[in-house]
Amino acid sequence: MTFRTTPRPLDPTISIVVPARNEAKNLEIILPLLKDFHEVILVDGNSVDGTVETALRLMPDIKVVHQTRKGKGNALTCGFEAATGDIIVMFDADCSADSEEIPRFIEALTNGADVAKGSRNREGGGSADITLIRGLGNKGLNLVCNVLLGTHYTDLCYGYNAFWADILPALDLLPSTAKAPADGSMLWGDGFEIETILTCRMAAAKLRVTEVASYEQLRVHGTSNLNAVSDGIRVLKTIIDEKRRDTVNVGQLRRAARLAPAAQRATVSASSSSSRAQDVA
C-alpha cells in the first residue's frame, strides 16, 4: 500500500500522545520526563480531578485536546489527528510506560520500520503489572491473531507503540468527528480494542513492523479501567472482524484487477472505433 510520496526525515520531530482520564497525580510524575520532545498532546477524557490544570502547570506549552466521544480508542484518534510531528508515540498516563525506552522506538523507525511495536515478551522486556489470568489471555489472543492473520507478533495487546505519522491513512481509523451513539454506548474501535485494531491493520497494510523490547511498570496512582474478561472478548471479536475486513478488501482488489483489463480493452475498442469514424468522415 502506498501511503507516502516523500522521503522521511533523518532527524524526525516527535509527538507524544497521552490519553488521560483523572490522572492528575500520575502526570506529576511523567510529564517532567517528556519535556524534550517536539510536542506532548494530552487527550483529556472529561477528567474531574484537575488533570488538565495539572498538565498546564507542569508543561505550559502542552497541547490539550478533549475527547469527542469516550474510550481509549477515541482518545488516541483525537491525539493522532492533532499531532504535527513526523513520528507519533503512544504513551499511557498511568506511569506504566518508561520514557527512557522512547529512543529505542525512534531508532527502530529511523532504521527503516514503519511501526515500532512494544513487546513485553521480547528479550529485555517484561511486566511488573500483568496478572496470571491476563497473561494467559494475552498469549491465547496473540496465538489466534498470528494464526488468522499470518503475523508473528509476540505481544498483541501491549499499547506502547510508535509509528511514522504518514501511515495513518493506511490505518483507516474511525474519525473523531463520527457521532457517538445516542444510548451512551461506544462505537467499535473507541474502546481498549483500539490497540488490536492498530496491530491488525498494520499487518493488513503490509507495513514494516519491528518489535521493541519494553518493560511495563506498575501503575502508581489510581486503578485501571481495563476489565480482563469483557475487554478480552472485545479483543477476540476485533481479531475476527479485522480478518473478515481484510478478506473483503482483498476480494475487492482482486475483482478490480480482473475487471481492469476488460475495461481497458473496451476503452481501446471505443477509441479505435472513434478513430475509424473520423477517418471515414
- Of 104-118, 175-189, 241-255, the one with minimum mean pLDDT is 241-255
Helical (H) or strand (E) element with 183: none
Q: How far is the C-alpha of 263 from the C-alpha of 256, rounded, in Å? A: 10
Cβ contact 115:202 at 8 Å: yes
| pLDDT per position as a tens digit, 39-75 | 999 999 999 999 999 999 999 999 999 999 999 999 9
pLDDT (0 to 100) of residue 110: 97
* Nearest CA-CA partner of 21 in 56, 71, 68: 71
Q: Read off the pLDDT of each residue in 165-169 and give the average, rounded to a whole number.
A: 97
Q: Where are the domains of the chain?
A: 14-251
Number of other CB atoms surrounding residue 265 within 10 Å:
10
The DSSP output letter for 68 is S
Examine the pLDDT at 280 and tell me if it is beyond 60: no
Q: Read off the pLDDT of each residue in 110-120 and give the average, rounded to a whole number.
A: 96
Q: Which amino acid would we find at residue 219? A: R
Examine the pLDDT at 237 and tell me if it is beyond 90: no
Q: How far is the C-alpha of 198 from the C-alpha of 173, rounded, in Å? A: 8
| pLDDT per position as a tens digit, 10-40 | 999 999 999 999 999 999 999 999 999 999 9
Q: How far is the C-alpha of 43 from the C-alpha of 67, rounded, in Å? A: 6
Q: Which amino acid would we find at residue 209? A: V
* Nearest CA-CA partner of 151 in 163, 161, 160, 141: 141
Higher-pLDDT residue of 234 and 18 is 18
N- to C-terminal Cα separation, the chain: 46
Examine the pLDDT at 271 and tell me if it is beyond 70: no
The rounded percent of the chain whose pLDDT value lies above 90 is 57
pLDDT (0 to 100) of residue 277: 45
pLDDT (0 to 100) of residue 62: 98
- Of 11-15, 104-108, 131-135, 140-144, the one with minimum mean pLDDT is 131-135
Q: Which amino acid would we find at residue 281? A: A
Examine the pLDDT at 279 and tell me if it is beyond 60: no
Examine the pLDDT at 233 and tell me if it is beyond 90: no
Q: Read off the pLDDT of each residue in 123-150 and give the average, rounded to a whole number.
A: 81
Q: Environment class of residue 188 by beta-carbon count within 10 Å: exposed (0-12), middle (13-18) or buried (19+)?
A: middle
The rounded percent of the chain whose pLDDT value lies above 70 is 81
Cα dihedral 118, 121, 125, 129 sign: positive
Which letter, b or e, does each residue of 87-123 get, where b requires 16 or more Cβ atoms within 10 Å of its Cβ?
Answer: bbbbbbbbbbbbbebbebbbebbbeebbbbbbbbbee
Examine the pLDDT at 278 and tell me if it is beyond 50: no
DSSP 245-267: HHHHHHHHHHHHHHHHHHHHHHH
Q: Read off the pLDDT of each residue in 214-243 and give the average, rounded to a whole number.
A: 77
pLDDT (0 to 100) of residue 212: 97
Q: What class, spelled out in words, does domain 14-251 have in CATH?
A: alpha beta
The whole-chain average pLDDT of the chain stands at 86
Q: How far is the C-alpha of 115 from the C-alpha of 199, rounded, in Å? A: 10
> What are 121's strand-pairing partners?
none
| Predicted structure pTM score | 0.82
Q: How far is the C-alpha of 219 from the C-alpha of 58, rounded, in Å? A: 20
| pLDDT per position as a tens digit, 241-258 | 888 887 766 555 456 656
